[in-house]
A = this chain, B = another copy of it.
Amino acid sequence: MKLVTRLINKFKVNNSILLEEPSAPLMSTSIPGPKAKELLCTQSTFSQDFRTIKFIVDLSKSIGNYAVDVDGNIILDTYCHIASLPLGYNHPDMIYNIQSGEYQKYLAQRQSADLPDIHWPRMVRDILLPIAPKNLNEVIVNCGCGSNSNEEAYKIAFSYYMKNKRGGAQPSEKEIELAMNNQGEQLTILSFASAFHGRNLASQSTTHSKPINKIGQPRLDWPKAPFPEIKHPYHLNESHNIREEKRCLAEVEKVFKAAKNPIAGVIIEPILAEGGDKSASPNFYIGVQEIAHKYGALFIVDEVQTGGGPTGRFWGHEHWGGRADPDIVTFAKKLQVSGLFYKQHLRPGRAYALYNSTRGDPVRLLNLRKIREVMDNDNLLRQTERTGMLLKNSLSALSQKYPISNIRGYGTFLAYDFISPEWANAFVKEMLELGVAVGTCGTHSIRVRPSLIFKPKHAEIYLDRAEFAINQILSKGFKLAKV
């Protein structure tokens, strides 16, 4: 406890903010510590469902890559609010930006989509258009969350399909009557096994990662296709991987041919994050894109987790090269605002076909503007690429000695497997005790999701503690290999 107090005293101003990043994690209690337990206990008898809480952060004290928790523990954060922290905690440029007074009028009242502020059109143009993926020069922002952004993409796909089916004509009286009675054409969206596209009632029909996201809920009878089970490193398992990708592409085509209801769109993540950080070669994604377009379906890329730089490019699909041609790209998380970019000809024929009162929150765009500026000024994409390379190589070296394998990903958006879910869970627990917040994905994978200011020095700490954690687990009787 003393050490922590000293460290906090060293860095604090007005009893609250650390002036600069600590040099390493520093734990004084287990997690949850006594203060956390007290807080959770008081709350459990009423109000919110707090069972999902990992730890309780003291946002005033957290800085850079380090979260400080309610018990004063200093934790290197590679979980980052489910991959949603672009510039770490309390980035000085963000704070300075917020203090400018520009936020005030947008906080004092929330504009609706039909009564925008005078600066809104220019904000959309100057903040959003510069990050638009190639050919996607139309945008919808503030969908509320990533799930909603995806559902908006589905709505665009459905509207567009029906518009084409009608040959551009207006809906008939009959179609309107059927619509008003919850009847009519049953269009679908094709998604992939292990995918996660949200938990809304429709988006969960495209989510296949875990039963908890779907159980007990009615679903739309929408199709899914298998996603390639790739072995990493890719080039060392090339013949298996290419065969597997071809097999899955053939399955995608089979689903289109056998579809009992029309498929208006295909949705895919550049890395199937929640489902276990699965990805395939660019050839596979381009193959899916080609099949979608061949059958008149839109190709929707869900960049809710991959968008905003963690793969070392601003968009994850940039790794697919020049042939990538998504019709819609959805985003949220690291951009600190949710929404979607789409091709202009997909705009529905009539106003209000896509609409929500809460579209357009300038507060979130002011944040995004500053995030982008810092990314440019500090060359964070390049740094993320470099740090990721170091992490990946060092994890590979560790995999020679320890029960980890299948190291994969781009930039610092990485993952690796333990030999069992028990190993993965023990690792997460041990790492948190050592002051590193780490998350799982799939059944037995560890996901690496630091913010964009994660540097080689932070990676070194992560790697040191990871090796220590694995040895701790081994010393508790866990085996090096499956028995």
Contact = CB atoms under 8 A, between A and B. Distances in A.
A155 B201 CA distance: 8
Contacts of A95: 104, 108
Contact of A216 (B81, B143, B159, B203): B159
Nearest to A148: B144
Contacts of A188: 218
A350 B217 CA distance: 14
Contact of A47 (B105, B115, B128, B146): B128
A51 B129 CA distance: 19
A349 to B, nearest CB: 10
Q: Please classify the interface of chain A as helix (H, G, I), strand (E, B), loop, or mixed, using the class held by over half of its residues.
A: loop
B218 A125 contact: no
Interface residues of A, number: 126
| Copy total for this chain | 2
Contact of A148 (B51, B171, B200, B351): B200
A162 B218 CA distance: 10
Given A171-B216, A218-B158, A84 B110 contact: yes
Given A48-B140, A104-B98, A105-B60, A211 B115 contact: no
B115 A89 contact: no
A179 B184 CA distance: 24
B110 A90 contact: no
B107 A367 contact: yes
B205 A182 contact: yes
A185 interface: yes
Interface string A1-16: 0000000000000000
Interface in A25-68: 39-40, 42-43, 46-60, 67
A118 interface: yes
B215 A171 contact: yes
A145 interface: yes
A71 B156 CA distance: 34
Contacts of A113: 52-53
Contact of A179 (B53, B111, B185, B214): B214
A168 interface: no
A243 B72 CA distance: 66
A293 interface: no
A347 to B, nearest CB: 6
Interface stretch (A219-227, A276-284, A409-417, A456-464): A219-227
A116 B32 CA distance: 13
Interface in A175-215: 175-176, 179-188, 199-203, 205, 208, 211-215
B354 A115 contact: no
B125 A47 contact: yes
A478 interface: no
A154 interface: yes
A137 interface: yes
B99 A104 contact: yes
A135 B131 CA distance: 47
Nearest to A360: B48
Contacts of A144: 143-145, 148, 338, 358
Nearest to A166: B216
Interface in A155-170: 155, 158-159, 161-163
A373 to B, nearest CB: 15
Contact of A82 (B84, B114, B148, B333): B114
Contact of A355 (B58, B171, B199): B199
A112 interface: yes
B114 A90 contact: no
Lowest 9 A-B CB distances belong to which pairs?
A144-B144, A201-B202, A51-B351, A81-B112, A162-B216, A82-B357, A43-B121, A59-B105, A59-B117
19 contacts: A47-B121, A48-B124, A48-B360, A52-B113, A56-B120, A59-B106, A90-B105, A94-B109, A103-B107, A107-B363, A144-B145, A144-B148, A162-B215, A179-B215, A182-B221, A186-B218, A199-B355, A202-B202, A215-B353
